[in-house]
């Protein structure tokens, strides 16, 4: 299964989060949780565009999209342990000019692949597809191309359909054998005896088994007697072999850990904020308790420490617990196993300036209590600890959102000494909402009000402002560049919000990109202004080759105002007060740059 293959990937691999092919415009767009550099190539027979994303794994996305017409389908899969592959396959009789394929990055995580109009060719001009004369591979067979040792196991690279896998052991000789049915060794395979010396395997031997159909035998020479390996097809060009302690596969039950982000359960109808001495009622008694009431720990209180730096959960008996981020709720879940709520359970007062925005308690089932914790803007959640058997503590770090500042009087903002033109580029728009973050927070909904307020502030300071779009509509990258160049602008600033995997809410902060020396000065000035005024994490001013800042003729910068997937940033970016503060910080940075020029 493909899921088994994904467990073999490095834990810190970049993840493909979203992709879409627009058949009317022949354009592929995709988003990853961290920066990636795509590689594209044209492969004939059948004609297909292959886009490889190095160091990337497939996330929870649709794997195939039928298109129709000149383009047969688009599919996504894991090519090998370190590469996600996107394939755009043409229909028979069609091809495209590879020189006209345009791969562009709006940000390090957001890319588009623009295809030219497909051209019809005569089908008879295509060379027939047949195996080499020396090969015994049947037309529908599989070919083994090589074996790769990964950090978690072995990856057997194949082409053709997924083979049937049979496993057998030779305990007396410490060998584990996998036979891949209907498979032959590639004629170009140079190494058939491969030293490994990892994962309890000294070497791997490959051998051809003649028959009808043929098979390939993959023999693992083990250094011990641990035969509990797992074999599975990756679903996209390979077989994954995992040792017993790789991921969750083959571990003894006592060693299993829960998934990092299991699907969140929908909130019950009675789920609501917890006022003092109130809590969600117990569900009706339907199934019998699996243990007597006296063996369940009662949650006595959920309270803030005197200094506001800890959330404390107190119970009347030793408690087992777990913690995870709930992506849909945008909150941290403290899961109390073998626990119940009662009339004695109390909750904290969350007044003005509280480090927590909301706390909810609910009885998820008869033996599980869940505490949902949503931090206030600017507050980070630290470690969840158990200093005593009946007590849990959750560290709270950072400060709450700074109070709203009054609008700047004109004399507090730099005013350019001559009429200047600034192009503000609100990213995305129309059918492209950009990244989607915690609680469904959309990038386009963050950057649009910020961009509009930046324009308003600059115009009050006598700056002429040109927008690349004035409504919620789709604008391609090239027209945005043309608008700036035709306006003979002094400065170009593109505004975006960042994103990463929902499993990484710890990644937060602001960063600004540039593509030229003059752009570097602009980017650093804006970055300094944002960090100084908002107190956000400083990810720095960085060089990048994004289309809109690389092809504009004036100093240009691309601002990422924070992470819609960040536990700190997302609540801030959702807050109109903070977005206004961000707009003033960006505007101040632009004005400081213009004044210094």
Tally of residues, the chain: 597
Q: Which residue has the tokens 């993840």?
A: 15
Q: What is the DSSP letter of 282?
A: P
Strands (E), 201-294: 201-209, 215-222, 230-233, 239-242
Phi–psi pair at 452, nearest 5 degrees? -65, -40
CA–CA separation, 236 vs 162, rounded Å?
Answer: 8
Cβ density class 397-413: b for 16+ within 10 Å, e for less: ebebbeeeeeeeeeeeb
Whose tokens are 């931090």? That residue is 375
Q: What is the DSSP letter of 429?
A: B
Residue 389's H or E segment, with its range, is: none
CA distances from 575 to 376, 449, 570, 582 (A): 11, 11, 9, 11
Terminal Cα distance for the chain, rounded: 60
Sign for the CA dihedral angle at 265, 268, 272, 277 comes to negative
Distance from C-alpha of 547 to C-alpha of 246, rounded to nearest angstrom: 41
β-sheet with 421-426: strand ranges across: 464-467, 421-426, 491-498, 556-563, 510-514, 538-543
Cα–Cα distance for residue pair 351/357, rounded to 1 Å? 9
For 165, the token pair is 């896998």
Given strand 142-149, what is the order of strands in its sheet?
A: 183-185, 142-149, 154-159, 239-242, 230-233
Q: What is the Cα 435 distance to its own chain's centre?
A: 10
Confirm whether 560 is a catalytic residue. yes
**Strand ranges for 186-259 from DSSP E:** 193-198, 201-209, 215-222, 230-233, 239-242
Q: What span, in angstroms and rounded, lies between the C-alpha atoms of 54 and 37?
A: 7
Catalytic residue among 453, 511, 560, 568: 560
Rg of the chain over all Cα atoms, to the nearest angstrom: 29
86, 30 contact by CB (below 8 A): yes
Dist. CA 148–CA 154, nearest whole Å: 6
- Cis? peptide before 138, omega within 30° of 0: no
Residue 369 has which token pair?
């209590």
Which residues have a catalytic role annotated?
560
């Amino acid at each position: 299964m493909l899921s088994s293959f994904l467990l073999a990937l490095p834990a810190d691999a970049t993840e493909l989060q979203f992709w879409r092919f627009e058949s009317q415009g022949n354009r592929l767009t995709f988003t990853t949780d961290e920066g990636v550099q795509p590689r594209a190539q044209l492969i004939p027979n059948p004609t297909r565009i292959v886009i490889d994303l190095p160091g990337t794994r497939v996330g929870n996305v649709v794997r195939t999209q039928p298109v129709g017409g000149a383009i047969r389908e688009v599919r996504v899969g894991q090519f090998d342990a370190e590469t996600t592959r996107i394939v755009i396959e043409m229909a028979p009789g069609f091809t495209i000019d590879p020189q006209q394929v345009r791969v562009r990055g709006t940000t390090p995580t957001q890319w588009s692949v623009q295809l030219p109009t497909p051209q019809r060719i005569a089908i008879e001009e295509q060379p027939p597809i047949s195996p080499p004369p020396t090969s015994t591979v049947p037309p529908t067979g599989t070919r083994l191309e090589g074996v790769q040792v990964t950090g978690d196991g072995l990856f057997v690279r194949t082409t053709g359909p997924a083979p049937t896998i049979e496993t057998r052991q030779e305990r007396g000789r410490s060998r584990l054998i996998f036979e891949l049915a209907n498979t032959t060794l590639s004629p170009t395979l140079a190494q058939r005896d491969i030293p490994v010396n990892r994962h309890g395997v000294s070497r791997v031997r490959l051998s051809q088994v003649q028959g009808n159909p043929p098979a390939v035998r993959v023999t693992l020479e083990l250094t011990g007697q641990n035969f509990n390996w797992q074999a599975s097809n990756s679903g996209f060009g390979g077989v994954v072999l995992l040792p017993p302690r790789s991921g969750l596969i083959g571990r003894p039950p006592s060693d299993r850990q829960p998934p990092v982000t299991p699907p969140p359960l929908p909130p019950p109808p009675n789920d609501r904020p917890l006022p003092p001495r109130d809590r969600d009622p117990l569900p009706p008694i339907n199934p019998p308790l699996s243990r007597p009431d006296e063996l369940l720990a009662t949650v006595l209180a959920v309270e803030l420490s005197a200094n506001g730096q800890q959330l404390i959960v107190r119970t009347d008996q030793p408690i087992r617990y777990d913690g995870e981020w709930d992506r849909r709720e945008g909150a941290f879940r403290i899961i109390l196993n073998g626990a119940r709520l009662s009339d004695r359970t109390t909750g904290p007062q969350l007044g003005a300036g509280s480090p927590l925005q909301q706390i909810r308690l609910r009885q998820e089932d008869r033996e599980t209590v869940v505490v949902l914790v949503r931090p206030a803007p600017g507050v980070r959640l630290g470690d969840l600890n158990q200093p005593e058997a009946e007590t849990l503590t959750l560290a709270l770090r950072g400060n709450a959102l700074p109070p709203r500042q009054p609008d700047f009087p004109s004399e507090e903002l730099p005013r350019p000494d001559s009429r200047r033109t600034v192009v503000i580029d609100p990213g995305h728009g129309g059918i492209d909402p950009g990244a989607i973050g915690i609680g469904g927070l959309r990038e386009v909904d963050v950057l649009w009000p910020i961009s509009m307020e930046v324009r308003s502030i600059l115009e009050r300071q006598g700056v002429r402002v040109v927008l690349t779009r004035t409504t919620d509509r789709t604008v391609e990258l090239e027209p945005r560049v043309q608008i700036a160049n035709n306006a003979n602008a002094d400065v170009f600033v593109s505004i975006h919000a960042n994103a990463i995997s929902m499993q990484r809410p710890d990644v937060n902060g602001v960063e600004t990109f540039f593509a030229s020396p003059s752009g570097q000065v602009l980017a650093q000035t804006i970055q300094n202004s944002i960090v100084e005024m908002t107190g956000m994490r400083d990810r720095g001013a960085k060089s990048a080759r994004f289309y809109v800042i690389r092809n504009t003729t004036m100093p240009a910068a691309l601002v990422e105002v924070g992470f819609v997937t960040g536990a700190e940033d997302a609540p801030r970016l959702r807050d109109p007060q903070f977005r206004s503060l961000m707009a003033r910080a960006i505007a101040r940075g632009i004005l400081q740059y213009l004044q210094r020029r």
